């Protein structure tokens, strides 16, 4: 039998300090997440300096917990994987420096991972049958991409947002209707009490770019709707706004993903990133994929939002390809998918 490959993975690109031990790519032995959300809530969004400082305070403890819960020792690790971009530079640097130090100390290879490639790989954890090629919709706080996963570690971006990311739109609209940070989960909840047909919000289409997205017009439409009601001294109905806004986002995400899957002759579709935890998006994707004879894959909500297990899975496939990083690995805040690191 082949030897087990154990990877210690570290993720610190935004406001979660996370470490995980993943065996043979898809078996999560531990997945520790220390969230800073409560701290950033006070400011209505992530404050980069606070994020970096908290990562420094928490990182050792989170790694120790991950090792302990997995019932292994650092010496059992075959490689150290770490998110090196994109993300907040000061936050990324904490994880990268830590990973380098451990890799040097135990003399095991270092693997720099792209955060979005990690989100995509989250789909492998619970879907043991999923193998490339497939199409993946990645929707997070900072990114909205349609990615062709051609093979393990081989990606082609075929669509992207021209302005706001889907999660960013959720967070901004949530703030406008008086919900706290992060807004996505709260809109998801409130929308269940609202009428999604109450307000006809726009669905932007970009000429000549059928798989691209734009959410800034939708965000402005929500703000205009609120201003208009205020001027007319009419009551706002936050649940109807949440439901109508969410429906507009879900509508474009689903229709563009299905169109791309058909045009590219794909029979498998996956979703990933924080917004992939959205219940309306998951339901609409399930229905549309069934109607179009596409097999849908999605991670549990805990693997949709930021975590290190997904980084461990992505690291494993880079490990098999012999894609190791040198000790000159740096934090790259605007790292492109597929770019060397």
The phi, psi pair for 82, rounded to 5°, reads -150, 140
- Residue 124: closest CA among 336, 314, 335: 314
Per CB under 5 A, does 307 bind Zn ion? no
State the number of binding residues for Zn ion (CB under 5 A).
2
- Exposed, middle or buried by CB within 10 Å (0-12, 13-18, 19+), for 220? exposed
Per CB under 6 A, does 244 bind ligand KG4? no
Nearest approach in angstroms of CB 190 to ligand KG4 is: 11
Per CB under 5 A, does 306 bind Zn ion? yes
Nearest approach in angstroms of CB 226 to ligand KG4 is: 19
What is the DSSP secondary structure assignment for residue 151, as one 8-state letter? Answer: E
Binding residues for ligand KG4 restricted to 113-132, rule: CB under 6 A: none
Structure tokens at 295: 């097999």
**How many CB atoms within 10 Å of residue 163?**
15
What is the DSSP secondary structure assignment for residue 303, as one 8-state letter? Answer: H
Which CB, 67 or 146, lies closer to ligand KG4? 146
Give the Cα separation of 172 and 184 in Å (integer): 9
Which CB, 170 or 211, lies closer to ligand KG4? 170
- Residue 29: closest CA among 13, 2, 47, 7: 7
Nearest approach in angstroms of CB 311 to Zn ion is: 10
Buried b (16+ CB within 10 A) or exposed e, 186-200: bbbebbeebebeebe
Using the rule CB under 5 A, give the single segment among 133-141, 199-207, 247-255, 312-320 that binds Zn ion. 133-141
Using the rule CB under 6 A, give the single segment among 94-102, 272-280, 309-317, 332-340 that binds ligand KG4. 272-280
Where does this chain bind Zn ion (CB under 5 A)?
A: 140, 306
**Binding residues for ligand KG4 (CB under 6 A):** 14, 140-142, 167, 170-171, 182-185, 188, 273-275, 277-278, 305-306
């Amino acid at each position: 039998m082949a030897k087990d490959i154990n990877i210690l993975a570290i993720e610190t690109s935004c406001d979660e300090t996370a470490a995980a031990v993943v065996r043979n790519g898809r078996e999560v032995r531990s997945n520790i997440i220390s969230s800073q959300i409560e701290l950033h809530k006070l400011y209505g969004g992530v404050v980069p300096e606070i994020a970096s400082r908290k990562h420094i305070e928490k990182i050792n403890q989170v790694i120790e917990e991950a090792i302990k819960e997995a019932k292994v020792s650092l010496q059992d690790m075959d490689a150290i994987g770490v998110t090196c971009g994109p993300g907040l530079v000061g936050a990324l640097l904490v994880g990268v420096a830590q990973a380098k130090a451990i890799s040097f100390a135990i003399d095991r290879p270092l693997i720099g991972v792209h955060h979005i490639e990690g989100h995509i790989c989250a789909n492998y954890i619970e879907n043991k049958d999923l193998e490339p090629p497939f199409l993946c919709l990645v929707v997070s706080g900072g990114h909205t991409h349609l990615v062709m996963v051609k093979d393990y570690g081989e990606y082609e971006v075929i669509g992207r947002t021209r302005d706001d990311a889907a999660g960013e739109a959720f967070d901004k609209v949530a703030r406008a209707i008086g919900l706290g940070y992060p807004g996505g989960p709260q809109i998801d909840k409130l929308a269940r009490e609202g009428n999604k047909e109450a307000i006809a919000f726009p669905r932007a289409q970009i000429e000549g770019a059928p798989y691209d997205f734009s959410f800034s017009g939708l965000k402005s439409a929500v703000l205009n709707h609120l201003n208009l009601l205020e001027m007319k001294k009419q009551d706002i109905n936050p649940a109807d706004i949440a439901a109508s806004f969410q429906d507009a986002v879900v509508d474009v995400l689903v229709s563009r993903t299905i169109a791309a899957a058909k045009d590219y002759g794909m029979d498998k579709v996956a979703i990933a990133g924080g917004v992939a935890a959205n219940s309306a998006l998951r339901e609409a994707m399930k229905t549309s994929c069934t109607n179009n004879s596409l097999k849908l894959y999605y991670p549990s909500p805990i693997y949709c939002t930021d975590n290190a297990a997904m980084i461990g899975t992505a690291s494993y496939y880079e490990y098999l390809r012999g894609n190791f990083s040198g000790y000159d690995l740096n934090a790259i805040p605007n790292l492109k998918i597929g770019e060397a690191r």
